[in-house]
Each structure stands twice: as structure tokens, then as C-alpha cells.
Amino acid sequence: MTQHSLELLSPAGNPAALKAAIEAGADAVYCGFADRTNARNYPGLNFDVDEMIESVAYAHSKGAKVLVAINTFPPAGEMKSWKDAIDNAAMAGADAVILADIGVLDYAANKHPNLRRHLSVQASAANPLSINYYRDQFGVKRVVLPRILSVDEVAHVAKETGMEIEVFGYGSVGPMSEGRCFLSSYMTGLSPTSEGACAPASHVTYKEDGDFVLSCLGDVVLNRVAKGEGAAYPTPCKARYVACGKAGYIFEDPIALNALDILSELKKAGVTALKIEGRQRSKAYVAEVVSAFRKALDAVETGETRSTDDLSELSEGGRQTFGAYKKGWR
């Protein structure tokens, strides 16, 4: 297995967060345009074309890369926004585009053959057969693996595909097959995941109920959180459901993935890049998480043993897990 330094890839929801990420030590930043072409389509978030051009120039001046996520699935007859996003990313000088839909991949491969293509986690490609198909058909150079594989499985995929492997190092976890979950459609009457937001803010409400807070999506109460109890994102997979008379987190606990303590294992498994989730989070989050990972990655490179920074305060529900990497729940 080739030994290389892991690329630290940070989210950026706006140009200020992109600067904060690079200042904190990110090697690359991923971001999206302010429309439904990417999976973090929230009001006030993301980049317009001018901001993208300026941000790419800024990142390059600091020796960092910019990857543009265009990773949602265009509905029938509405390809224009996705084609424009790819053309604009190429024009801005982006280092790569992160794509999921095969039509969008095909357009990018034909129209901008020199623009690097990465396969988004939204494509849900988790085995060598599927990944090799994307590599051979669309010239994909890197795959972002879904958060369902153990470290051994990641190593197997890396070996069998020979591709650049990107995995999640920190952030929110969802239990569903990525890019294919439509749970929130039943609660909102929309198709929010294909519009770039699982729980659109317009359908989320919080209500105080004595010492509790109720979080609702559409008309459905997802959770009732007591004082001092860690709260979860208002998504259907993090809701507390009543089954057999007992309320509990049936799909997924409010918890964040944190791979800070297994970086050398991931490196050994053949991982190329480590991705931090959270384009919807603030520049303060970006700065803190990136700097914690920068220190830990530098320590891995030098072989130094050091205790890693505590990120629990930034974590969903205030709790952290190795997720599928260790599959401890089995």
C-alpha cells in the first residue's frame, strides 16, 4: 500500500468559511452554488458565480484546492441549472466537481473532459463493481465512500479499484443509503432531498413545551428534548419514535462521526482524502474542526503520539462515534 499524506478536505458554506478553513490548515475545500444543484441548499448559504471565481483564486493563491459539489439529481426536463453549474465551476477554475447523477457525469465528461470528476457520496457507490463502472464510463478519479463501510471494507475497495478514496472524518451521520432516502417527502409533501435539503427550514418548527422543546417537520413532531439533553437535527432519521410503547431513536441516535483517533488506520487502508461534513455549519465550526484534524494529521505524518482535541461540544447530541468504521453495534 502506498504511503502518502492524507488530504484534509473542509466544508465551506460561504467565502468567509472557505478562508477560515484554509487559515486553519485545510488542503482543499468543497462548496456549492446557491441553488438546488447541491445537497446543502439552505437560505443564505453557498456561493454565487462571482464569489466562486474569487474564492477559487484566493484558495489557489494559498496553495489550496476547491472542489465544487454538484451532487443532486436533476428532475426530468430541468437540466439547465446542473449544466450551468458545471460550466460555471469549470470557468471559475475549480480543481474538481463532485457529481452523483450519471447524466450530469456524462455531460461533464463530454463538455469539460479536463475538469476532474469525483463521485459524490450521494451516488451511493460502495463496492468495487459499481465504483469501477463510474471510473470506466465517466473517467471518475475519486470516490467518496458512503458512511456504511468498516475500515477493512474501505481497504478492500481501495485495493480493488485503485481509485482515490475519500471518506468522512467528522460530522453528522445518516443511516440511509445516501442520496436515496425520501423519508422527509412523507412529512413535507415535497421531494426535499432531490432539492438539496432533507429537512427544509421552511418546514421545520421548534416549540417550547414547559422545560421541553418539540422539534417538528411539517405536521409531525420528531422529538421532545428535555433540558440538558443533547438535541438532534430535525431529520426523520434522528426522530424519536414510539415502538412497543417505548420512545427511542430507532434509526439513528443524535451523534456525530469522529475519526480523529483512527486516522493512521484509515491512512493504512489506502484513504486519499479525509472529508469533514458540514457546509451548513458556521465558520467557527469549520475553523475549530479543521484545526483539530490538521494537528492530528500532522502528528500521524510525524509519527508523534498526542491526545486529540475534544470536539464533543460541536457534535450533534454532544456525542461521538466511530460509526461504521468499527461497527461496534454488531
- Interface with other proteins by CB under 8 A: which residues? 13-17, 20, 42-45, 200-202, 204-208, 213, 225, 227-233, 254, 280-285, 287-288, 313-318
Q: Which does 184 bind (CB under 5 to 8 A by kind): other proteins, ligand SF4, none?
A: ligand SF4
Choose the contact partner of 235 out of ligand SF4, other proteins, none; CB within 5 to 8 A by kind. ligand SF4
Please, what is the minimum distance in Å from the beta carbon of residue 236 to ligand SF4? 4
Whichever of 49 and 204 has its CB closer to other proteins, that residue is 204
**Interaction with ligand SF4 in 170-189: which residues (CB under 6 A)?**
174-176, 181, 183-184
Q: Is 10 in the site for ligand SF4 (CB under 6 A)?
A: no
271 binds, among ligand SF4, other proteins, none (CB under 5 to 8 A by kind): none
Q: Closer to ligand SF4 by CB, 35 or 195: give it.
A: 195
Instruction: Return the half-sphere exposure (C-beta side, CA atoms, 13 A cut-off) of residue 287.
Output: 8
Instruction: Indicate which of ligand SF4, other proteins, none lies near residue 284 (CB less than 5 to 8 Å, by partner kind).
Output: other proteins
Instruction: From the list other proteins, ligand SF4, none, pick the one residue 287 interacts with, judged by a Cβ distance below 5 to 8 Å according to partner type.
Output: other proteins
Min separation Cβ 74 and ligand SF4, Å:
18
Residue 237 binding partner per list ligand SF4, other proteins, none, with a CB distance cut-off of 5 to 8 Å that depends on partner kind = ligand SF4
The residue from 6, 98, 104, 198 that contacts ligand SF4 (CB under 6 A) is 198
3-state SS of the chain is CCCCCCEEEEECCCHHHHHHHHHHCCCEEEECECCCCCCCCCCCCCECHHHHHHHHHHHHHCCCEEEEEECCCCCCCCCHHHHHHHHHHHHHCCCEEEECCHHHHHHHHHHCCCCEEEECHHHCCCCHHHHHHHHHHHCCCEEECCCCCCHHHHHHHHHHHCCEEEEEEEEECCCCCCCCCCHHHHHHCCCHHHHCCCCCHHHEEEEEECCEEEEEECCEEEEEECCCCCCCCCCHHHCCEEECCEEECCCCCCCEEECHHHHHHHHHCCCCEEEECCCCCCHHHHHHHHHHHHHHHHHHHHCCCCCCCCCHHHCHHHCEECHHHCCCCC
For ligand SF4, the binding residue among 67, 126, 145, 237 (CB under 6 A) is 237
Q: What is the binding site for ligand SF4 (CB under 6 A)?
A: 174-176, 181, 183-184, 193, 198, 235-237
